[in-house]
Amino acid sequence: MGTHTRYFILRKDDLNSFIVKLSRSHKVVAPVSKGYGNYAFTEVTSANDIALKHIPTILPPKKYFLPQRETMLSFGTGHIESAEAPLEHENTVIFGVHTCDLNGIQCLNIVFSERPRDYNYLRRKDNITVIGLECTEYCDEHASCNLMNSNFPNGGYDLFFTDMGEDFMVHVNTQAGDDLVDGTNLFKPATQARMEELYAIRDAKRARFRDEVNVDRKKLPAIFDKSENSPVWKAIGDKCLGCGNCTNVCPTCYCFDIADTLNLDLKSGRRVRTWDSCEVETFAKVAGGENFRSGQTERLRHRHYRKFRFSLGKYYRFFCTGCGRCTRACMAGIRLKETLSALVKEAA
């Protein structure tokens, strides 16, 4: 298809036709209102159910790439030949992914592409088409997407939608995106005047998103280097309930546990992978009862270092997208922006 840097206009009145058409060939999921200001990616068959304006969904799109529970292997206890590796996946289009979550998907893609590769993750990813949707305003006060540089589109999508009033500007980024656009006659090439409009929307947005935490993000790793013994960790550790909500809702948390369970016949069983959490007490417990991170303070500190320090050394990027979910989900009222601000202040 030649160029993959094409921009198109889709009239808002035509969004429903687009979604209906997509839903005939794919499972289409999009943010849907669940009441009380909550949104969740849910299957849709028309645009009427989609919440175009939404704060980050309760769970990020990682639930489609890495299900909370999946059977990796069904086996018999007799011969190795009796083992089967089922992989449940569907051709899925995820519509309405904010830029912070695109960043989160990119983080997971990097982790699961490392050797040894995670073929369950990668095969699901191959069957998922991602359609981004730009936020032109802050979701709420918990977001720190500007700090984490994830409030503007930076790849990781097939199509990307920006609200332009009566219509959407649509950026086609991949062959899969191209195919979706070519499959309908709803998209019209964007004129230069409309491109200028897009640039103006982005400039206005740039002026609105700023300084969520009073620090240059480049300084954060050095601040974390100095903060290992900070009293900040004890202060939030004393509040933390160890529930694991924050890791479950985090778009970049990917730790899992794997367990083999036998059926009652004792001749067959399943190997099941389930999300795990570094915040729960058993996470770092080993045979003999030793626990490498036995206190909530150490566990909470570890999680923060995984987001703002260790990932820089290993993957050269932050593993926090600034989505704010950990703050929204925390029953103990631990707020990421407050924690970062306290560390910054202390290190000044």
Angle at 301 between CA 223 and CA 242, to 5 degrees: 155
Is there binding between residue 106 and ligand SF4 (CB under 6 A)? no
> In the 8-state DSSP scheme, what is residue 174?
S
Site for ligand SF4 in 257-296 (CB under 6 A): 279
Q: 73: left (phi > 0), else alpha (psi -120 to 50), else beta? A: beta
Structure tokens at 232: 């900040």
Query: Which phi and psi angles does 313 have, rounded to 5°?
Result: -70, -35
Of 66-74, 164-172, 206-214, 332-340: span binding ligand SF4 (CB under 6 A): 332-340
Which among 45-53, 88-96, 195-203, 323-331 is the span making contact with ligand SF4, rule CB under 6 A?
A: 323-331
Distances (CA, A) of 146 to 143, 159, 210: 8, 22, 6
Site membership for ligand SF4, residue 301 (CB under 6 A):
no
**Of positions 325, 339, 340, 342, contacts ligand SF4 by CB under 6 A:** 325
Candidates 24-32, 159-167, 285-293, 327-335 — which segment interacts with ligand SF4 by CB under 6 A? 327-335
Is 311 an interacting residue with respect to ligand SF4 (CB under 6 A)?
no
Q: Which of 66, 336, 340, 342 binds ligand SF4 (CB under 6 A)?
A: 336
According to the binding rule CB under 6 A, does residue 255 interact with ligand SF4?
Answer: no
Residue 32 near ligand SF4 by CB under 6 A: no
Does 99 help bind ligand SF4 (rule: CB under 6 A)? no
Burial 155-167 (b: 16+ CB within 10 A, else e): ebbbbbbbbbeeb
CA distance 163 to 165: 6
**Residue 14: CB minimum distance to ligand SF4, A:** 33
**Phi-psi sector, 227: left (phi>0), alpha (psi -120 to 50), beta:** alpha
Which amino acid, 307? K
Residue 320 touching ligand SF4 (CB under 6 A): yes
**Contact footprint for ligand SF4 (CB under 6 A):** 240-246, 249-252, 279, 300, 307, 320-326, 329-332, 334, 336
